[in-house]
Homo-oligomer: A and B are copies of this chain.
Amino acid sequence: MKARWINLARVAAVITAVTSWVVPGHAQDPLPSWADAAPKKAIMAFVDRVTKQDSSEFVPTAERIATFDNDGTLWAEQPIYFQLAFALDRVKVLAPLHPEWKDKEPFASLLRGDLKGALAGGEPIIGQLVMVTHAGMTTHEFEKIVSDWIANAKHPTTGRLYTEMVYQPMLELLAYLRANGFKTFMASGGGVDFMRVFSERVYGIPPEQVIGSSGKLSFEVRDGKPVLVKLPELNFVDDKTGKPIGIHILIGRRPIFAFGNSDGDLQMLQWTAAGSGARFVGVVHHTDAEHEWAYDRASHIGKLDKALDEATAEGWTVVSMKDNWKRIFPLEGK
């Protein structure tokens, strides 16, 4: 199956190679899509400090743990979280099996095409939609459904595959950290079973390094074969205080490097910053309305308010997508 995909990690590598070749003086630039500004300098200075053997802040390879939020940090999250787009598409597919949805909200509004009306109830409605569409099948069946969707579904405004709406500078950053002995993890509010379908292919992050929200599972034997069945019940929400908790339970070490983009990442960033020794804490600020979206304090998705204040107060690295990134997505220039 892998051969069918555009390998974005490879595209990123080619872009890096080409850029290195045509821009004199940047032959060794591991972050070609990053403008020569403070965030890039801070990242590279940090990596130098923790990897140079003679540095007073040297960190052994085993402790070089880096965690990244996904929605809004590694890929886009507008106009709705991509996993919610998946859930909405699933509602349409499943509707013939649920005639009762015609008279039941939020399904009725959704099936009439009234997305705004359907989602007016906010988080609980989203939770309900996710439960209905992410449970009642085996983990294997779900993986197949997500695989098919992610290979074909198109983003409503760009018309691109969702996996093409990942941030080129972050692909370079992930590769750069790994080349410097870091283990890169996702720590996302997204569903772990959803993200793992593409995390390795798209980000180079293997399934065992993906932390996310999850539903409860039951172990059953069907036709003599054991299966894991996804139940319509929450197991863990990997958001806000759930992020450091998820990181502790799954990794068992405190990251020395973390990147987020919203208030949902604040506790992960605080947890990372509070460790002893050198720390890097980064915040992606969505400022490029022309090539992506611009939003922060007032946004209903990826709200960045308290975390922006704390980033300023604590001297964390805030990345302006408009000013600090030369390219947003892998397949097009800025």
Beta-carbon nearest neighbor of A240 in chain B: B219
Does the CB pair A219–B200 fall under 8 Å?
A: no
* A226–B196 touching, CB < 8 Å: no
> CB distance A206 to B62 under 8 Å?
yes
Chain B residues with Cβ under 8 A from A65's Cβ?
208
| A-to-B contact residues, CB < 8 Å | 62, 65, 139, 183, 192-193, 196, 200, 206-210, 214, 217-219, 221, 225-226, 228, 235, 241, 244-245, 248-253, 267, 270-271, 274
CB pair B226 A208 closer than 8 Å: no
Known pairs A62-B200, A270-B226; A214 contacts B252 (CB<8 A): no
Contact B244 A208 (CB under 8 A): no
Nearest chain B CB to A194 CB, angstrom units: 11
A208 touches B245 (CB 8 A): no
Chain B residues whose C-beta falls within 8 Å of the C-beta of A217 in the assembled complex: 245, 248-249
Whether the Cβ atoms of A139 and B248 lie closer than 8 Å is yes
Nearest residue, chain B, Cβ from A65: B208
Specify which chain B residues have a CB less than 8 angstroms from the CB of A252 in the assembled complex.
192-193, 196, 207-208, 210
Leading 8 A-B pairs by shortest Cβ distance = A207-B252, A219-B241, A208-B251, A196-B252, A217-B245, A226-B270, A226-B271, A226-B274
Residues of B near A251 (CB, < 8 A) are: 207-208
B207/A228 in contact, CB under 8 A? no
Known: A192-B249, A208-B253, A218-B241. 16 other contacts (CB 8 A): A139-B248, A183-B208, A208-B208, A217-B248, A217-B249, A219-B241, A219-B244, A219-B267, A225-B274, A226-B244, A226-B267, A226-B270, A226-B274, A228-B271, A235-B249, A250-B250
A-B contact pairs, 9 of them (CB 8 A): A65-B208, A183-B208, A192-B252, A208-B251, A208-B253, A217-B248, A221-B270, A226-B244, A226-B274
A228→B214 contact, CB < 8 A: no
